[in-house]
């Protein structure tokens, strides 16, 4: 696959949306090192090569990953238990994605309609928010809330409902994984992708509307008549 030619240099552009929904792992929190250690441990417990698991686990719910290797353990009690351990055991291995703390605070301060839609469990998200001392989103859709995980769009459609925007297609999704980009696009929303965990080519192929390096490229200009004005800087062009 040839490397896309271009650079992260698009001039600032302001777009208006009814609401914003963000993925969590890889988009707000960089927990890659912690997750790798976690799957090495789980792989050993399941008798599966962790490299095999890691090749397909990012952006997917753990329950769907475990179902492939040990269906007996693919239940919420077990998955919440193992994911709840991650921030406790590997908390020092995670950092916020650059710009995440500022963006979450700005969304809250402006009174924007926003929420987090993640393939992680509630135990995992609550754990990371606590360890990193980040603003807790009022709207949260977690792995346990949907029958099918990303790339199925129902997690993002549920997020829209929880924002009180059932009839709106004017939402923007922040994502880092192709499965999540596809979920956002299948829901009918615009998607801003971050190059935090996947290659530019993978994000383009998944159908992202804009691609930026991290959340420092995104800021809130204000909320007018309930709509959030989002500035996107230095997108790939």
Which is the catalytic residue, given 18, 23, 176, 214? Answer: 23
CA separation for the pair 21, 230 (Å, rounded):
13
Catalytic residue list contains 30: no
173: Cβ–Cβ under 8 A, 6 or more apart, which residues?
A: 20, 21, 22, 23, 117, 156, 180, 181, 183, 184, 187, 189, 190, 191, 192
What's 229's DSSP letter?
A: E
Under 8 Å between Cβ of 26 and 59:
yes
Rg (alpha carbons) of the chain, rounded to whole number: 17
Which is the catalytic residue, given 25, 30, 176, 214? Answer: 25
CA separation for the pair 229, 237 (Å, rounded):
21
**Residue by residue, what is the 3-state secondary structure of 136-196?**
CCCEEECHHHCCCCCCCCHHHHHHHHHCCCCCCCCEEEEECCHHHHHHHHHCCCEEEEECC
Under 8 Å between Cβ of 150 and 58:
no
Catalytic residue list contains 225: no
Q: Which residues are catalytic?
A: 23, 25
């Amino acid at each position: 696959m040839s490397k896309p030619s271009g650079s992260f240099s698009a001039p600032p552009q302001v777009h208006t949306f009814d609401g914003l929904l963000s993925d969590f792992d890889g988009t707000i929190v960089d927990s890659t090192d912690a997750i790798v250690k976690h799957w090495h441990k789980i792989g050993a417990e399941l008798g599966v090569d962790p490299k095999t698991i890691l090749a397909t686990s990012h952006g997917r719910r753990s329950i769907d990953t475990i179902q492939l290797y040990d269906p007996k353990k693919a239940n919420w009690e077990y998955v919440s238990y193992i994911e709840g351990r991650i921030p406790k055991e590997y908390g020092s291995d995670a950092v916020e994605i650059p710009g995440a703390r500022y963006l979450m605070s700005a969304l809250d301060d402006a009174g924007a309609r926003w929420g987090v839609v993640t393939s992680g469990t509630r135990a995992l998200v609550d754990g990371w928010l606590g360890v990193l001392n980040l603003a807790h989103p009022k709207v949260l859709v977690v792995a346990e809330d949907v029958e099918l995980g990303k790339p199925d769009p129902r997690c993002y459609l549920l997020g829209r409902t929880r924002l009180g925007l059932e009839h709106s297609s004017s939402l923007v999704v922040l994502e880092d994984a192709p499965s999540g980009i596809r979920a956002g696009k299948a829901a009918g929303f615009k998607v801003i992708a971050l190059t935090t965990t996947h290659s530019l080519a993978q994000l383009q192929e998944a159908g992202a509307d804009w691609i930026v390096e991290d959340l420092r490229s995104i800021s809130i200009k204000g909320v007018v008549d309930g709509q959030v004005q989002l500035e996107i800087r230095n997108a790939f062009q």
